[in-house]
C-alpha cells in the first residue's frame, strides 16, 4: 500500500484527536481527587478478579455500576501470575487485562493496588513462595533481592497495562495506583531499613510513570507525593499527613472474612451507611468498599491458613454474585444522596455545629443556592430530635441524615427502606437429587509414602514445610524409620506448627489432628504398636494456605519444623528429630492428576467406602436449569479438595465446625467489630461450595471429583441453586413500597402484610395490634404472580388502621418468591 505524506498526517491528527479526547487527567489537591480538573466524590468497591470467573465479571460490574459505584478496585496477585520464577500466567480468572477492559466497558473507573504484597487473606500475602529460594531474600524491607523481584514483577504489570492503554491519561479506566500495603502497620521492627524501603517504594512507584497519583495505605510517614490513606471500619477521624493530600479511605471493611472454625460475620447496613456518611461529613473525597464482591478462593493458592474457601465478606454482592439486600440497596440510595451534593461537598465552605450529646450538623455551602448538610447523631443509645434552621429532624441513635439542599432529608442511614432478601439454596428440578448421584471411588495410593519410599531428598532434621515444598502442594511427607529392640506399644508425639497432621506407623494410619479454634500449633500424641526391628514412621503434614500478615511473616514456619518428634515407651524417650528424614512433596493423586477424570485411572463402583481417609470420590451430574448460581452441598464430607470438570473449586472442610459461642444477636448501634454480629455458631464453618456456571457443560454430564483426607460420606452430597426465598419490605405512610424477587422469579405468595405498627424482622413479623383487614388481599392481588410490585401507601388505599395510637404508620410485607 502506498500512502501519501498528507494521508499519514491526516491519520496522525485523527488518532491523536481520538485519543486526546478520551484521555482523562487525574490530579488532586488537599480537598479532593480531580478528574479533568474537577474535584470529585468517588465511590469505589473492591472486586478481586481471581475470586470470580471472567464469565461473572460483566454481571458483577453491571451490578456495581447500578449500585452507584464510580470505580472498582483490585490488588494484583503476584503468586497467581508468577507461580514459578519468570513463568507467567494470565489465563482464565487471572486475565487481569480482560478484567480492566470489562471495567471500562461497564463505564467505571479502576483503582489498581499493585502491592505486590497484598495481605488480602491471600496465600502468603500474594508473594510467591519460590522467593524463599533466593539467597539472602527478606520480604518487604530494604533488601536488594526483594526490591529486584518486586520491581521486576510490578514493572511487568505496569508495562502490560500501559501497552493496553489502560491508565486514565491513555484513555483507560485506571485513575489511581497503590504501592505496598499497610506497611506502616508493621514497619516498626524493620527500623531504618523499613524507612529506607518505603522511600524506595515511593521512588520506584514514581519511576513507573503511569501519569496518576499514587497512594500508600496506613502509611502515616508516606513520602510526598504519595497520598497516605486510611483502612478500617470508620475513617472519619483520619487526617492525611500532608495538606496537599485529600482524605481517602482505601478499605471500608463492610463485613469481615470468614475463618475455619469461626461463625459468619455480618456488618449491618445501618452501621455501614453511618460510617460512609460520617466520612463524607468529615471532608472525605474517595472511599472504597472492601469488598464489594468478595467471591471465592477457588484454586489452591488463595486463602491464608485461617480462611475458608468462601470469601463472601458479607459484601453487597454475595459470594455467588447475587445482590445482597438490604445492604446493596441501602448503599445505592446513600450514593445517590451524596452525589446530589457533590459540588457543595468538594467546593463548598464547611461549617460544623456541635449540639452536644453526639449530635452535630455540618453544612457545606458552595454559594447562596447550592449547599448540602449532614445532621448526625453519634450517640449509641439516644435518639434525638434536632431543630435546625427552623425545621425539626428526627435522628435515630447512631445515624446520619443527608439533606442535599439543607432542608429536605432525603436519606437517613438508620432508616432502611430497601427490601430485605433472604437467600435460599434450593434443589433444582433438573439436577439429580443426592440419592440419584452414582458414586465411584479410588484410593489415594499411599503404599510407597507410608513405607518411606520415593522421597525427593533427605535431611538429618525436621525442616520447615514452606522452604521444603515451596507451596507446590498442601501436602508434604516426612518419612523416617527407627529400630526398636522388642515388640511394644509406644506413644508417638509430634510437635507441629500446623496446620493438619496425619501419622502412619508401619503403613497404618494411627492418628490425625488439626488445631482447634484456628490454633494451628499443636501436639499430636498417639499410641501405636511397634515391632521388633525396623519400623516406618511417615508423617503427612498438610497446610491450608500460608500465613499472610505481620512483620517478617515469611519466616513463620509451617509443618513439623524442628519437631520434636518423639517415641515414648515406658520411661524411655527416643528423640527422632535428628534422624534421617526423607521428604516427598505432594500426593500421588495430585501427580497423576486424578481430578482430571483421566480415563486411564481406575475407578471402582459398587460398595462405596465411607469414613475412609485418603479416598477419591467421583460422580457425574446434570447442569442445573436456569441462570441462578450453583453450589454443591458437601455435608457429610470431612476435609479435602473438590474439582468440577477439572476446575478446582477450593478446599472443603465441613467437619470443622464454627465455635458454639458468639452469636448473640446484633444491634447496629455502636462501634462495629468482626465478632459483633455473627451467625452460624456451632455449624460447619463452610458447607456449600460455589460451582461457577462457566465450569459446567450444559447438556452433558459434569464430573465432580472429591479428595477426602479425613474420612467422609458422599451420600448426602447434592447440587442446589441460590436464589431469593423470601423478600420483605416496609415503607411509611405516604411513601411507596417496592418488592422484588430479583433474578427473574415471581412472587408466589404473600406470607405477611400489615399496615399500622407491625413488629419484628423479616422472617419473623408480628402484627402490632393495629391492622387493616383489607391489606392482605390487596397486596396479594397487586403482587402475586409478578416479579416485582410497587404500592403507594395512603390510608385511602389500605383502609384505616383501627385502634391505632401511633401517629405514623407503616406497611410491612413479606413474600415468598
Please indicate whether residue 206 is annotated as part of the active site. Answer: no
Taking contact as CB under 6 A, which single stretch among the options 116-124, 165-173, 341-349, 667-675 is the one that binds ligand GAL?
Answer: 116-124
Please indicate whether residue 251 is annotated as part of the active site. Answer: yes
Is the CB of 48 or the CB of 81 nearer to ligand GAL?
48
Taking contact as CB under 6 A, which single stretch among the options 113-121, 464-472, 612-620, 788-796 is the one that binds ligand GAL?
Answer: 113-121
Q: Residue 101 class from Cβ within 10 Å (0-12 exposed, 13-18 middle, 19+ buried)?
A: middle
Taking contact as CB under 6 A, which single stretch among the options 112-120, 572-580, 691-699, 776-784 is the one that binds ligand GAL?
Answer: 112-120
Is the CB of 194 or the CB of 404 nearer to ligand GAL?
194
Is the CB of 130 or the CB of 257 nearer to ligand GAL?
257
Is the CB of 250 or the CB of 615 nearer to ligand GAL?
250
Is the CB of 197 or the CB of 313 nearer to ligand GAL?
313
> Annotated catalytic residue: which of 73, 82, 102, 251?
251
Residue closest to 706 by CA, chosen among 633, 784, 809: 633
Shortest spacing between CB 120 and ligand GAL, in angstroms: 4
For position 73 contacting ligand GAL by CB under 6 A, the verdict is no
What is the spatial distance between Cα 801 and Cα 612, in angstroms, rounded to a whole number?
Answer: 63
Considering only 53, 104, 143, 231, the residue that binds ligand GAL (CB under 6 A) is: 231
What is the spatial distance between Cα 314 and Cα 155, in angstroms, rounded to a whole number?
Answer: 34
Shortest spacing between CB 182 and ligand GAL, in angstroms: 5
Residue 718 pairs in a beta bridge with 633
The residue number with the shortest CB distance to ligand GAL is 119
Taking contact as CB under 6 A, which single stretch among the options 117-125, 326-334, 406-414, 711-719 is the one that binds ligand GAL?
Answer: 117-125
Shortest spacing between CB 245 and ligand GAL, in angstroms: 19
In the structure grid, which three cell numbers stand for residue 351, read together?
A: 461549617
Virtual CA dihedral for 105, 106, 110, 115, nearest 10 degrees? -80
Is the CB of 286 or the CB of 704 nearer to ligand GAL?
286
Task: Report 351-410 residues binding ligand GAL (CB under 6 A).
Answer: none
What DSSP string describes 635-683? TT--SEEEEETTEEEEEE-TTSBPPSS-------SS---TTSSEE-TTS
Q: CA angle, corner 91, sides to 89 and 95, nearest 5?
A: 100
Considering only 257, 260, 441, 672, the residue that binds ligand GAL (CB under 6 A) is: 257
> How many residues form the binding site for ligand GAL (CB under 6 A)?
9
In the structure grid, which three cell numbers stand for residue 644, read together?
A: 468440577
Is the CB of 121 or the CB of 314 nearer to ligand GAL?
121
Is the CB of 231 or the CB of 740 nearer to ligand GAL?
231
Shortest spacing between CB 278 and ligand GAL, in angstroms: 20
For position 121 contacting ligand GAL by CB under 6 A, the verdict is yes
Taking contact as CB under 6 A, which single stretch among the options 118-126, 419-427, 437-445, 626-634 is the one that binds ligand GAL?
Answer: 118-126
Virtual CA dihedral for 763, 764, 770, 775, nearest 10 degrees? 20
Task: Report 236-255 residues binding ligand GAL (CB under 6 A).
Answer: 251
Is the CB of 120 or the CB of 494 nearer to ligand GAL?
120
Shortest spacing between CB 518 and ligand GAL, in angstroms: 15
Virtual CA dihedral for 494, 499, 503, 509, nearest 10 degrees? 150
Shortest spacing between CB 304 and ligand GAL, in angstroms: 9
What is the spatial distance between Cα 306 and Cα 265, in angstroms, rounded to a whole number?
Answer: 14
Task: Report yes or no: 547 and 304 within 8 Å, Cβ to Cβ.
Answer: yes
HSE of 386, CA atoms in CB hemisphere, 13 A? 28
- B/e letters for 147-175, b = 16+ CB within 10 Å, e = fewer, are bebbbebbeebbebbbebebbbbbbbbbb
What DSSP string describes 563-611? --EEEEETTEEEE-TTS-EEEEES-HHHHTTGGGT-TTS--B-SSPP-S
For position 119 contacting ligand GAL by CB under 6 A, the verdict is yes
3-state secondary structure of 374: strand
Taking contact as CB under 6 A, which single stretch among the options 119-127, 333-341, 461-469, 514-522 is the one that binds ligand GAL?
Answer: 119-127
Is the CB of 119 or the CB of 812 nearer to ligand GAL?
119
In the structure grid, which three cell numbers stand for residue 749, read together?
A: 405468595
Shortest spacing between CB 186 and ligand GAL, in angstroms: 10
Task: Report yes or no: 132 and 83 within 8 Å, Cβ to Cβ.
Answer: no
Is the CB of 672 or the CB of 719 nearer to ligand GAL?
672
Is the CB of 554 or the CB of 782 nearer to ligand GAL?
554
Phi-psi region of 640 (alpha: psi -120 to 50; beta: other; left: phi over 0): left
What is the spatial distance between Cα 683 and Cα 655, in angstroms, rounded to a whole number?
Answer: 9
The Cβ of residue 358 has, within 10 Å, a number of other Cβ atoms equal to 17
What is the spatial distance between Cα 27 and Cα 34, in angstroms, rounded to a whole number?
Answer: 5
What is the spatial distance between Cα 674 and Cα 279, in angstroms, rounded to a whole number?
Answer: 20
Cα-based distances in Å from 103 to 45, 70, 516:
12, 10, 41
- Give the H or E element holding residue 792: strand 788-792
Taking contact as CB under 6 A, which single stretch among the options 114-122, 379-387, 607-615, 637-645 is the one that binds ligand GAL?
Answer: 114-122
Task: Report yes or no: 181 and 115 within 8 Å, Cβ to Cβ.
Answer: yes
- Give the H or E element holding residue 34: strand 33-35
Extract the runs of DSSP E, i.e. beta strands, from 366-474.
Answer: 371-377, 384-388, 391-395, 399-403, 411-412, 420-427, 439-443, 457-459
> Annotated catalytic residue: which of 149, 182, 333, 342?
182
- B/e letters for 737-764, b = 16+ CB within 10 Å, e = fewer, are bbbbbbbebebeebebbbbbbbeeebee
Shortest spacing between CB 636 and ligand GAL, in angstroms: 30
Virtual CA dihedral for 418, 424, 430, 432, nearest 10 degrees? 170
- Give the H or E element holding residue 214: strand 214-217
Q: Residue 551 class from Cβ within 10 Å (0-12 exposed, 13-18 middle, 19+ buried)?
A: middle
Is the CB of 46 or the CB of 663 nearer to ligand GAL?
46
Shortest spacing between CB 486 and ligand GAL, in angstroms: 54
Task: Report 168-197 residues binding ligand GAL (CB under 6 A).
Answer: 181-182
Task: Tell me which residues touch ligand GAL (CB under 6 A).
Answer: 118-121, 181-182, 231, 251, 257
* Residue positions annotated with a catalytic role: 182, 251
Amino acid at each position: 500500500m502506498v500512502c501519501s505524506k498528507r494521508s499519514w498526517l491526516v491519520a496522525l491528527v485523527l488518532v491523536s484527536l481520538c485519543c486526546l479526547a478520551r484521555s482523562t487527567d487525574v490530579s488532586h489537591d488537599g480537598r479532593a481527587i480531580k478528574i479533568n480538573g474537577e474535584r470529585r466524590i468517588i465511590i469505589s468497591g473492591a472486586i478481586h478478579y481471581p475470586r470470580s470467573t471472567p464469565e461473572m465479571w460483566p454481571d458483577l460490574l453491571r451490578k456495581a455500576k447500578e449500585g452507584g459505584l464510580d470505580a472498582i478496585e483490585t490488588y494484583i496477585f503476584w503468586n497467581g501470575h508468577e507461580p514459578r520464577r519468570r513463568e507467567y500466567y494470565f489465563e482464565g480468572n487471572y486475565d487481569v487485562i480482560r478484567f480492566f477492559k470489562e471495567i471500562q466497558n461497564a463505564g467505571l473507573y479502576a483503582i489498581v493496588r499493585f502491592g505486590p504484597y497484598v495481605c488480602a487473606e491471600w496465600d502468603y500475602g500474594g508473594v510467591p513462595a519460590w522467593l524463599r529460594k533466593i539467597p539472602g531474600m527478606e520480604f518487604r524491607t530494604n533488601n536488594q533481592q526483594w526490591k529486584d523481584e518486586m520491581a521486576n514483577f510490578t514493572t511487568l504489570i505496569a508495562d502490560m497495562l500501559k501497552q493496553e492503554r489502560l491508565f486514565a491519561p491513555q484513555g483507560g479506566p485506571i485513575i489511581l495506583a497503590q504501592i505496598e500495603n499497610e506497611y506502616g502497620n508493621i514497619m516498626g521492627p524493620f527500623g531504618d531499613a523499613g524507612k529506607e524501603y518505603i522511600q524506595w517504594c515511593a521512588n520506584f512507584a514514581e519511576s513507573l510513570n503511569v501519569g496518576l497519583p499514587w497512594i500508600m495505605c496506613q502509611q502515616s510517614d508516606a513520602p510526598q507525593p504519595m497520598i497516605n490513606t486510611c483502612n478500617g471500619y470508620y475513617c472519619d477521624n483520619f487526617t492525611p499527613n500532608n495538606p496537599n493530600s485529600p482524605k481517602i479511605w482505601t478499605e471500608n471493611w463492610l463485613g469481615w472474612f470468614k475463618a475455619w472454625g469461626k461463625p459468619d460475620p455480618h456488618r449491618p447496613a445501618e452501621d455501614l451507611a453511618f460510617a460512609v456518611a460520617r466520612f463524607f461529613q468529615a471532608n472525605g473525597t474517595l472511599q472504597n468498599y472492601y469488598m464489594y464482591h468478595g467471591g471465592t478462593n477457588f484454586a489452591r493458592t488463595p486463602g491464608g491458613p485461617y480462611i475458608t474457601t468462601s470469601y463472601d465478606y458479607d459484601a453487597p454482592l454475595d459470594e455467588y454474585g447475587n445482590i445482597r439486600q438490604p445492604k446493596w440497596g441501602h448503599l445505592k440510595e446513600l450514593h445517590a444522596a451524596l452525589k446530589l451534593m457533590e459540588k457543595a461537598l468538594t467546593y463548598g465552605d464547611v461549617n460544623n455545629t456541635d449540639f452536644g450529646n453526639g449530635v452535630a450538623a455540618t453544612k457545606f455551602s458552595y454559594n447562596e443556592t447550592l449547599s448540602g448538610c449532614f445532621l448526625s447523631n453519634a450517640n449509641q443509645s439516644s435518639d434525638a430530635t434536632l431543630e435546625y434552621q427552623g425545621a425539626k429532624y428526627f435522628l435515630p441513635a447512631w445515624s446520619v441524615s443527608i439533606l442535599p439542599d439543607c432542608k429536605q432529608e432525603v436519606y437517613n442511614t438508620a432508616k432502611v427502606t430497601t427490601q430485605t432478601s433472604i437467600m435460599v439454596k434450593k434443589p433444582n428440578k433438573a439436577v439429580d437429587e443426592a440419592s440419584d448421584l452414582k458414586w465411584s471411588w479410588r484410593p489415594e495410593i499411599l503404599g510407597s509414602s507410608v513405607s518411606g519410599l520415593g522421597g525427593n531428598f533427605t535431611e538429618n532434621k525436621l525442616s520447615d514445610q514452606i522452604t521444603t515444598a515451596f507451596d507446590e502442594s498442601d501436602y508434604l511427607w516426612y518419612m523416617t524409620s527407627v529400630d526398636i529392640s522388642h515388640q511394644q506399644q509406644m506413644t508417638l508425639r509430634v510437635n507441629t506448627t500446623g496446620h493438619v497432621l496425619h501419622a502412619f506407623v508401619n503403613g497404618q494410619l494411627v492418628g490425625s489432628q488439626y488445631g482447634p479454634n484456628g490454633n494451628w500449633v499443636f501436639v499430636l500424641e498417639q499410641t501405636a504398636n511397634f515391632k521388633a526391628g525396623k519400623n516406618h514412621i511417615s508423617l503427612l503434614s498438610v497446610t491450608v494456605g500460608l500465613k499472610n500478615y505481620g512483620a517478617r511473616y515469611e519466616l513463620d514456619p509451617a509443618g513439623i519444623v524442628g519437631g520434636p518428634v518423639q517415641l515414648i515407651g515406658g520411661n524411655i524417650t527416643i528423640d527422632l528429630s535428628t534422624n534421617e528424614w526423607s521428604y516427598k512433596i505432594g500426593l500421588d493423586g495430585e501427580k497423576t492428576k486424578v481430578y482430571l477424570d483421566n480415563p486411564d485411572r481406575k475407578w471402582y463402583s459398587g460398595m462405596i467406602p465411607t469414613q475412609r481417609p485418603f479416598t477419591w470420590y467421583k460422580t457425574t451430574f446434570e447442569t442445573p436449569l436456569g441462570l441462578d448460581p450453583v453450589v454443591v452441598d458437601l455435608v457429610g464430607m470431612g476435609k479435602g479438595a473438590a474439582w468440577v470438570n477439572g476446575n478446582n473449586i477450593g478446599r472443603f472442610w465441613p467437619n470443622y465446625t464454627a465455635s458454639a459461642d458468639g452469636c448473640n444477636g446484633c444491634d447496629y448501634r455502636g462501634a462495629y467489630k468482626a465478632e459483633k454480629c455473627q451467625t452460624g455458631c456451632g455449624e460447619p464453618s463452610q458447607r456449600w461450595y460455589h460451582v461457577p456456571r462457566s465450569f459446567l457443560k450444559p447438556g452433558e454430564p459434569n464430573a465432580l471429583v472429591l479428595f477426602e483426607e479425613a474420612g467422609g460420606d458422599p451420600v448426602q452430597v447434592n447440587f442446589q441453586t441460590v436464589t431469593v426465598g423470601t423478600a420483605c419490605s416496609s415503607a411509611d405512610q405516604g411513601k411507596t413500597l417496592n418488592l422484588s424477587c430479583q433474578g427473574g422469579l415471581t412472587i408466589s405468595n404473600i406470607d405477611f402484610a400489615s399496615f399500622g405498627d407491625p413488629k419484628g424482622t423479616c422472617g419473623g413479623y408480628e402484627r402490632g395490634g393495629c391492622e387493616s383487614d383489607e391489606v392482605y388481599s390487596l397486596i396479594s392481588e397487586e403482587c402475586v404472580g409478578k416479579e416485582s410490585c410497587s404500592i403507594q401507601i395512603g390510608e385511602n388505599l389500605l383502609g384505616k388502621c383501627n385502634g391505632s395510637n401511633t401517629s405514623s404508620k407503616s406497611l410491612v410485607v413479606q413474600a415468598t418468591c
